[in-house]
């Protein structure tokens, strides 16, 4: 393997191809496309293998993670962001709960 034997851009082109494959697989698996384009660019075929073996992210997983970030207002029983200190619907202060 003599590096000077090949044009310098060939390795770069390879990385682009793997980045596109990773991005495509990431889209199909409902995962971060931008993140996997970078992953494919850096990891090349290893990145493709990783994204190929990863299970697709399902919508139910996303719902579950969203639920974890939410809490129910004890006053009006509306689901609100866990980071909120006050209920945006009825103004109930959550910091009273501790």
Q: Is 75 in the site for Zn ion (CB under 5 A)?
A: yes
Bridge partners of residue 79, in order along the sequence: 72
Distance of alpha carbon 19 from alpha carbon 23, whole angstroms: 6
CB under 5 A: which stretch of 8-16, 29-37, 46-54, 68-76 binds Zn ion? 68-76
Question: Can you tell me which of 22, 37, 43, 87 binds Zn ion, judged by CB under 5 A?
Answer: 87
Distance of alpha carbon 51 from alpha carbon 56, whole angstroms: 9
Q: What angle do CA 64, 67, 73 make, to 5 degrees?
A: 160
Decide whether 11 or 93 has the Cβ nearer to Zn ion. 93
Q: Is 76 in the site for Zn ion (CB under 5 A)?
A: yes
Binding site for Zn ion (CB under 5 A): 73, 75-76, 87, 89-90, 92
């Amino acid at each position: 393997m003599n590096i000077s034997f090949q044009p310098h851009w060939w390795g770069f082109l390879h990385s682009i191809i793997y980045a596109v494959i990773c991005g495509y697989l990431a889209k199909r698996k409902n995962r971060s496309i931008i993140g996997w384009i970078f992953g494919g660019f850096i990891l090349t075929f290893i990145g493709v293998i990783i994204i190929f073996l990863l299970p697709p992210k399902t919508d139910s997983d996303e719902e579950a993670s969203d639920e974890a970030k939410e809490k129910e207002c004890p006053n009006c029983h509306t689901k609100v962001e866990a980071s909120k200190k006050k209920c945006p619907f009825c103004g109930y202060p959550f910091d009273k709960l501790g």
